[in-house]
Amino acid sequence: MNSPSPSPPPDLNPPKSTRKRKLAARLTDSDNAAQPALKQQRLAVEQLRRARVSAQVEEVDDDEGPSTITSRGASPSDPRRVLEAADGTAPPLQTQPTQARTNTRTSKANKSSAIEVHDSESEVDVDLSLPKKSQKGAGMGVKKGKKVGDNKVESAEEELERLMKSWNSSIYGFYDPIPAIDEIDGRRVHIFSCSASGCKHKIRRYLDKNDRCSTSNLHDHAKKCWGDEVVKRAQAIKDLNHVRQTIGKIKNNPDGDITAMFSRAEEKGAITYSHRQHTTEQARAEIVRWVAESMRPFSIVEDQGFQVLMKTGRPMYRIPSAVTVGRDVKHVFKKTKKRIGKMLRDYDGKLSFATDGWTSTNHKAYIAVTVHLIMDDKPLVLLLDIIELPISHSGSNLAHAFAEILKEFGIQDKILGLACDNASANKTMTDKLVRHLPGFRGEKSRVRCFLHIINLVAKVILRQFECRKSSLGSSTEAVEDEGDEEVEEEGDGAEDEIKEKDVDGLAELSEASEEDVEPVRQVLTKLHKLSFAVKNSSTLALPEWFRILEQLNLPSRMIPRDVSTRWNSTYDMLKFVVDYRAAIDELTDNRKLALRAYELSNREWKIAQQLCDVFKHATTSFSASTSSIAKIIPAMEKIKGVLSSQATETSYLSCIRSALTIGADLLQHYYELTDHSDIYRIATVLHPSYKLAYLEKAQWPKDWVKRALEIVQEEFAQRYADIEIETSVNVRSSLDQPSSKHQNIFDDLSDLEKIAPAPVVDELALYLKQPREKVDDVLKWWLQRQNTFPRLSRMALNYHSVPATSVAVERAFSQGRILLSHIRNRLSAESTRALLCLGAWYRSGLVDMNDINAAAKLPEVNETPDDMDVDDDF
């Protein structure tokens, strides 16, 4: 007869409400093996320590408020028990003691362990690792060398060293690297000292608390002392060493701006998707964002494939009509335009602009304007507007259209500089703008697009050796060339072909004699035709070409072709044929391929080599062009020196030297035009790498150097010397900035005696007296010195924000070419404007979600209203 199994003893100490949490097991320092059972031993040592404390009640401060822990005078009946009632009873262990010890010693598998933990809002780091070669307890409140069973308690220093290995949070970078160790009322504590200058605040972390790894107090004080923005950027970096290095740099540079020194971390986390489908309003908001950012047609929402993707499995899913999407996009565009206008009007500084014109594939003429400023200590380049100008792009019409755009945003009085290319109409526009914008100073505020100058110089050199259309041979080849040029121009944003009547100073240049140029032109013509013949002989010449390359162990490549709209394509072709000379000679020597007409003689190969050398130097110099306004004059000096030295090289053919001389003359023409604008000289003098010393080193006449200094002095005295500096609006957070909150009002008495800034008349003189220094980021340099030069820095930041090129406008036109392709060309000018601008504003993070949500709440429309244009393919 089987007796009933005895029932388990009642649980005298029911467990608290717990939940299972899967924690990754830690690895020991000795064998990289996980030991989950060590947690129970640590808690047992803690229980033993509490038993030996004389006080019966201990208050513990944690994130959830004060609580009490009752400790008994007697030791627990079994030190390995985690839970034990006040009377000494406890629930039975799940495993025998011997087995538990065996598991602790022999567990080597690196597996995750499931343990029971109480919910807590604090940041808790459960450390299951033990020091090498010995199993040591937590050691909290136990003196060094104290034994617990057979285990020696680790020393305070060893414990700190162990814990510091897991301190990876960026917040530790705001405190001294090694905290102090102390014991207060028998409790071991780590004391963190703030690294900020003048801050004597210390953060105590008691090691006998459950939240002993929490960083909440460290965060709270860092935000008070350094500012929320600085802490936020430091956390985004997620690199403790980088944060500490940045703090060290700011200590050595009292004028440094720590907010600017912390680079913005790109958080490219995985995209997550909600399990809930969008509401109708949410769907409309997301479609507006998608269409604007990705430049999709409005009608894509009515595409059958899109409808199938969205409605399969949810046939009742509501998709807005194309007319609704178009209306929503334009609504958000108008709202965002108003917000940007207010932002620019409130901007504490001058604004600079760039402008250019463009004719779209649907034969609409546009002009675009970009605005350039500093926002959040970073340069901001923003597409301001793009409008259709269906009339002649004369200087007067361009000036009127540009002025109207600025007036529409309410920023007509904030203009400082204007960058545009060298077309004659832009000179007229610059003169006419003085009447429309009283604050604009005409040629004194104009910047000629530096890349356009470089492009013109390169093209005028190449023009001496251009292959005549009649020499290209068949009409098929001519058509092929035109197609290539069109593709290259659209993809590159390259300038139109040079027209003497449209470019300042080009008509006065002479050309090399026809007799000298003809041999060079013949070489380029042969190479051009050879590339075309090989490319279009897919059954004879092309297979033979690849066979020869394989035989000679050369990389398999096609012969590149020179395209007139890309000046560096000629260098690419010349460099290739010089490197592949053996293959080209073998190919043209094959009589079966009928390519003997393109064979180069030794003299022609010498010409090709000389051309390659010349364009190698020119390409290197041109490619080093800069977008910094202060570096334009030094860049022109360097390129002019390269061209001049090459033009006097006697080993080159006379026609090559003549072409280089013409290019140098054109560059000199534009170099002299920089004297008409004050911006170049002011930016150069206010660059710490150049100053006046550069002008003197470049052998400028003394009266020119003197005049440059006078221009800077006059501008500073008239517009900046009397500016009132309000330290309260300074957004920088630096070490010498006092905390906004103090625990005691007498902790910081610096507010009682404000230090007056240096006299304004000394700022420019002080700056010029300082030695020059190598600076890569001039904007960052001036931002870091706003305390030392509060007024001069404003002037410098304004002038260094002036664009050196109109590349930003060209980028907008490149987006327009994507938006208006050859098969999608019925988009109206107003829709083009809304999509291009809104897409650029989205990418700059300037679109407010409130405006999108407001548009999504508007009534849907299924038919075109009388006052709204809808495009056939949009």
What digits encode the pLDDT tens for the residues 209-245? 877 778 888 888 888 887 777 787 777 766 787 788 7
Among residues 128, 150, 179, the one where a domain terminates is 128
At 339-391, the pLDDT tens digits run 999 999 999 999 999 999 988 877 889 999 999 999 888 899 999 999 999 88
The confidence score (pLDDT) of residue 682 equals: 95
Residue 637 lies in a domain: yes
Question: For residue 468, which amino acid is it?
Answer: R
Q: Note down the domain range covering 81.
A: 19-128
Q: Do the strands 151-152 and 67-70 form a parallel or antiparallel pair, or are they unpaired?
A: unpaired
The confidence score (pLDDT) of residue 262 equals: 54
What's CA 373's distance to the chain center, in Å? Answer: 16
> Which pLDDT band, with edges at 50, 70 and 90, does 823 fall under?
low
Share of the chain above pLDDT 70, in %: 66
Which whole number is the average pLDDT over 789-812? Answer: 92
Q: For residue 399, how many other CB atoms are within 10 A of its CB?
A: 23
Among residues 676, 702, 727, the one where a domain terminates is 676
Apex 260 CA angle, 257 and 265, nearest 5: 145
| One domain, residues 294 and 247 | no
The confidence score (pLDDT) of residue 840 equals: 92
Least confident range of 58-67, 498-507, 753-762 = 58-67
Q: What gap in Å lies between CA 187 and CA 626, rounded to an integer? A: 62
Q: Is the pLDDT of residue 728 over 70?
A: no
- Asked if 669 contacts 456 with a C-beta cutoff of 8 angstroms, the reply is no
Q: 482-486 long-range CB contacts below 8 Å, 24 or more apart?
A: 484/561, 484/563, 485/563, 485/564, 485/565
| One domain, residues 619 and 527 | yes
Q: Is the pLDDT of residue 501 over 50?
A: no
Among residues 676, 709, 735, the one where a domain terminates is 676
Q: Is the pLDDT of residue 267 over 90?
A: no
Residue 142 lies in a domain: no
- Asked if 846 contacts 371 with a C-beta cutoff of 8 angstroms, the reply is no
Q: What gap in Å lies between CA 652 and CA 698, rounded to an integer? A: 28
The confidence score (pLDDT) of residue 655 equals: 83
Q: Alpha helices, DSSP H only, in 376-513?
A: 395-409, 424-436, 450-462, 475-492
Which span out of 121-130, 284-293, 679-688 was modeled with the highest average pLDDT? 679-688
Q: Is the pLDDT of residue 568 over 80?
A: no
Apex 307 CA angle, 303 and 309, nearest 5: 120
Q: Do the strands 57-60 and 19-23 form a parallel or antiparallel pair, or are they unpaired?
A: unpaired
Output the six-digit token pair for 732. 């920088």
Residue 698 lies in a domain: no
- Asked if 376 contacts 398 with a C-beta cutoff of 8 angstroms, the reply is no
> Which pLDDT band, with edges at 50, 70 and 90, does 165 fall under?
confident
Residue 412 lies in a domain: yes
The confidence score (pLDDT) of residue 7 equals: 54
- Asked if 465 contacts 526 with a C-beta cutoff of 8 angstroms, the reply is no
Better-predicted residue by pLDDT, 258 or 436: 436
Residue 730 lies in a domain: no
Residue 495 lies in a domain: yes
Q: What gap in Å lies between CA 349 and CA 593, rounded to an integer? A: 67
> Which pLDDT band, with edges at 50, 70 and 90, does 86 fall under?
very low
Task: Find residue 59's DSSP bridge partners.
Answer: 68
| One domain, residues 412 and 467 | no
Q: Is the pLDDT of residue 633 over 50?
A: yes
Q: Is the pLDDT of residue 843 over 80?
A: yes
* CA-based R_g, the chain, Å: 37
Pick the closest to residue 395 from 435, 363, 360, 438 (CA basis). 435
Residue 42 lies in a domain: yes
Provide the number of structural domains found in the chain.
Answer: 4
| One domain, residues 564 and 536 | yes
| One domain, residues 572 and 616 | yes
Q: Do the strands 415-420 and 351-359 form a parallel or antiparallel pair, or are they unpaired?
A: parallel
Q: What gap in Å lies between CA 131 and CA 148, rounded to an integer? A: 15
| One domain, residues 537 and 654 | yes
Output the six-digit token pair for 79. 């030190």
| One domain, residues 249 and 332 | no
CA-CA distances (angstroms) from residue 797 to 431, 578, 763, 776?
Answer: 26, 47, 15, 15
The confidence score (pLDDT) of residue 137 equals: 37
| One domain, residues 464 and 542 | yes
| One domain, residues 575 and 497 | yes
Q: What are phi and psi of 253, to 5 degrees?
A: -135, 90
> Which pLDDT band, with edges at 50, 70 and 90, does 50 fall under?
low
| One domain, residues 578 and 479 | yes
Residue 192 lies in a domain: yes
At 111-136, the pLDDT tens digits run 333 334 344 333 334 343 444 433 33
CA-CA distances (angstroms) from residue 455 to 452, 458, 705, 811?
Answer: 5, 5, 29, 17
| One domain, residues 535 and 653 | yes
**Mean of per-residue pLDDT scores for the chain:** 74
| One domain, residues 439 and 470 | no
- Asked if 574 contacts 612 with a C-beta cutoff of 8 angstroms, the reply is yes
Q: What gap in Å lies between CA 663 and CA 669, rounded to an integer? A: 10
